[in-house]
Amino acid sequence: MKQKIALACDDIGFETKELILDYLENEKDMEVVFNPVIKEEDGKNTFAKLADEMSEIIQKDICRLGIYVCGTGIGFTCQANKHWGVRAVAVTDPYSAKRARLSNNAQIIGLGCRVNSFEYMKIVIDNFLDKEFDFSKAKKNSKKNLLEAEKNDNDLLQKPDYIKWNMGFRADN
């Protein structure tokens, strides 16, 4: 079964998003289950709306990972992090992408087409996707911090009734 992923962009990131779509489907053998920006103009002034939609897709366990492309990846990830259980990180380098996943079990990365070339982004994407968070091998501190993050989300955010999984705070049963 192919791994599922969400992919979105604004109008600035559209061309790069199209290249990433091809890369994910044809080189990474993934299934893109959320790709709402079909034409460049569909992405105009939509980062907040798309962050909300992608976060909900992940909360509902339609897929557990997402990539967003715009000028920097920052605004989208700020908006996505307002959602219970979502950990989104704007990344610009392979090491940060790897650590976002391995230390924080982040579900979403934001990429900046004004920051990195597409060829470099592929390396960043590979570092995010190729090693998933493994609770049996994760550092004790990482697992402790995830539980603390869940507690903070419970204290500060409204948990929607439609959430279908533990959002990566704990190992799946």
Catalytic residues: 70
The residues near 171 (Cβ < 8 Å, ≥ 6 apart) are 135, 136
Sign of the dihedral defined by the CA atoms of residues 144, 146, 150, 152, in that order: positive
- Whole-angstrom CA distances from 84 to 37, 58, 143, 159, 166 are 24, 11, 18, 6, 11
CA distance linking residue 76 with residue 69, whole number of Å: 9
Alpha helices per DSSP H over 31-93: 47-59, 74-80
Write out the two tokens for 63.
């897929």
